[in-house]
């Protein structure tokens, strides 16, 4: 059975996340329906590198597909795209090793969060607009505190009794791009709502409603407080799934709302 590696982008506003769910429209569900139509095969293996939540977007989600077909990868890609809604697009399909696994073989994930410092008529679905002035220096000063192997139990909705809340965060960046603040987080993996809670706490520090020392303290204790500051899904993008030999993509905004 041939195995294909698929690279996919999607605008997640209309979907209840990546993973197939009963009675809910999902990105994986739309792709699965398109694959069935194109190949005429009902049952096949199709697994993503990980989940994204409702309303979250992806610039480069990766999945692997096991399906019997005589179609060349590029023809398969075009035909699947013809069956997909406009807000999901397969960027690339390539034959890969039968042992390749989209989730298990990934060595890192990169997430991008876009914060808008002004109201925008064009990018509402892709940013979190914060009306208050933000102290960018204070936000940047907090970033190194989250880098390394840390216990992010206070920054997730996952149950620590069911899975480990230890995560290796390899990189945290905050870059100003016109009226946008771009927050990039790169790590081995991320827990449920972790990126949004970290971003929300960063913004709370920038607004002056949370002291940086308190935010750092939440790494050493168990607290429900960070959940109060959870950033909305609209500004969040799965930016890249990295495999051995991959280079990180340049950090840039998805939209431009310059001053």
Number of Cβ within 10 Å of residue 143's Cβ equals 18
- Alpha-carbon Rg for the chain, nearest whole angstrom, is 19
Strand 57-66 versus strand 3-10 pairing type: antiparallel
CA distance 65 to 32: 10
Number of Cβ within 10 Å of residue 204's Cβ equals 21
H or E stretch including 78?
helix 73-83
Rounded alpha-carbon distances, angstroms, from residue 245 to 108, 113, 199: 11, 25, 28
Say if CB 30 and CB 85 are below 8 A apart. Answer: yes
CA distance 194 to 233: 12
Say if CB 60 and CB 241 are below 8 A apart. Answer: yes
Active site residue 82: no
Say if CB 242 and CB 106 are below 8 A apart. Answer: yes
Residue among 74, 109, 87 nearest 248 (CA): 109
CA distance 43 to 50: 21
DSSP for 91-112 reads EEEEEE-TT--TTTT--EEEEE
Select which of 53, 105, 132, 246 is catalytic: 53
For the annotated catalytic residues, the residue numbers are 53
């Amino acid at each position: 059975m041939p195995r294909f590696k698929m690279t996919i982008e999607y605008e997640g506003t209309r979907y209840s996340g990546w993973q197939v769910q009963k009675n809910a429209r999902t990105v994986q569900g739309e792709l699965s329906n398109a694959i069935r139509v194109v190949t005429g095969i009902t049952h096949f293996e199709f697994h993503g590198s990980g989940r994204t939540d409702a309303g979250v977007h992806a610039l480069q989600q990766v999945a692997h597909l096991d399906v019997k077909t005589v179609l060349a990868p590029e023809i398969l890609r075009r035909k699947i795209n013809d069956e997909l809604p406009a807000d999901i697009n397969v960027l690339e399909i390539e034959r890969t090793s039968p042992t390749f696994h989209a989730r298990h073989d990934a060595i890192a994930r990169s997430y991008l969060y876009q914060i808008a410092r002004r109201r925008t008529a064009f990018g509402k679905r892709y940013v979190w607009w914060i009306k208050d002035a933000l102290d960018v220096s204070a936000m940047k000063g907090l970033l190194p505190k989250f880098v390394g192997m840390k216990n992010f139990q206070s920054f997730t909705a996952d149950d620590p009794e069911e899975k480990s809340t230890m995560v290796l965060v390899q990189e945290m960046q905050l870059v100003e791009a016109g009226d946008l603040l771009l927050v990039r987080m790169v790590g081995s993996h991320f827990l449920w709502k972790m990126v949004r809670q970290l971003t929300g706490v960063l913004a709370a520090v920038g607004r002056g409603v949370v002291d940086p020392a308190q935010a750092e303290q939440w790494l050493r204790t168990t607290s429900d407080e960070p959940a109060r500051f959870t950033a909305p899904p609209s500004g969040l993008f799965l930016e890249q799934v990295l495999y051995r030999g991959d280079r990180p993509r340049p950090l840039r905004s998805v939209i431009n709302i310059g001053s």
